Amino acid sequence: MDIIELVSEHGRARIARQGAQVLDAELGGVPLLWLSPLAAFEPGRAVRGGVPVCFPWFGKHPTGLPAHGFARNRDWTVLAQDDRQARFELCDDEAGRALWPHRFRAELTVALEDAALRIDFAVENRDDAPIEFTYALHSYFAVDDVRACRVEGLEGRLRREVGHVTMPQQGIVALAEPIDAVFEIAPEPLILVEGERRVLIEADGMRSAVVWNIGPDNAQADIGPHWPRYACVERGNIGAAAVHLAAGETHRAGMRLSRSRATRSDATRSIAPRSNGH
């Protein structure tokens, strides 16, 4: 698998040409993104961890096509790269149109900024008719123990889960229990907190958020016993935030990730877990 490495005085990141997927990253010597020790590096198979690109649909497809689209399993073209930035392109082809019959061009740029990792995503409609799609940057954050984590910024937003009644989020989102919660309309920024460590998740043009950890009972083969070491907090546009593009239009969005220590008020705030409907 072709891998590009970015390095700066602030951090490092590795990106696979397959899927234009950030595999792992660290900022200030501290891991930012999690890559499963059991991840499989096989052509056409998504790698577990980092930031897979779920496009042109997120989640299960109503007709049974592969979940999360095909972009994460395809080789992207490298348009440009240097020590701090890499830019990738994916265009429609015969194989892609067999799954999603539209002409498009997608571009993804990964950059090490000052003490931050930035991912910019754009999709151009090259069809003669409007298109609709959903997507997410499926970020796996490295944590010591997901059960001690919480996500701030989603209070009061409608939360949807399979088998649960959609209702407003009550307080912070605690990750003490397995979770697969979709917030189709979410604010920015969001903050992932574990003890005194924080990850600031800033989004531009991405209206949705997903919080996910599969837990011990349903851990997949490429996660296994390592499930406590990641917390997925994803940004994108899904469900009610699906993107509609007229012919010739381009959708542009971005996500910026940075780490910091909690403030004194954060450190003294109670983080007693909530049931969150589980």
Residues 240-263 pLDDT 10s? 999 999 999 999 999 999 987 654
pLDDT for 263 equals: 45
How would you class 30 by CB atoms within 10 Å of its CB: exposed for 0-12, middle for 13-18, buried for 19 or more? exposed
pLDDT digits (tens, 9 = 90+) for 231-246: 999 999 999 999 999 9
Residue type, 19: G
Q: What is the 3-state secondary structure (H, E, C) of 217-249?
A: CCCCCCCHHHHHHEEEEEEEECHHHCEEECCCC
Query: Cα–Cα distance between 70 and 75 in angstroms, integer?
Result: 10
pLDDT for 49 equals: 97
pLDDT for 44 equals: 87
Question: Does position 269 have pLDDT exceeding 80, yes or no?
Answer: no
Contacts of 36 (CB under 8 A, 6+ apart): 48, 49, 140, 222, 223, 224, 226, 230
The owner of tokens 């002409």 is 103
pLDDT for 261 equals: 60
Closest CA to 211 of 146, 119, 133: 146
pLDDT for 81 equals: 96
Query: pTM (2 decimals)?
Result: 0.92
Read off φ and ψ for residue 97, nearest 5 degrees.
-70, -20
CB 133 within 8 A of CB 250: no
CB 18 within 8 A of CB 3: no
Section 89-113 average pLDDT: 96
Fold of the domain built from segment(s) 3-268: Beta-galactosidase; Chain A, domain 5 (2.70.98)
CB 148 within 8 A of CB 271: yes
CA 267 to chain centre: 26
Q: Is the dihedral of CA 29, 34, 37, 41 positive or negative?
A: negative
User: What is the DSSP-derived secondary structure letter of residue 263?
Assistant: P
CA 198 to chain centre: 17
Question: Does position 89 have pLDDT exceeding 70, yes or no?
Answer: yes
Residue type, 20: A
Cα 72–Cα 201–Cα 220 angle in degrees, nearest 5: 45
Section 28-43 average pLDDT: 95
Residue type, 88: F
2-16, 56-70, 131-145, 156-170: the lowest-pLDDT one: 56-70
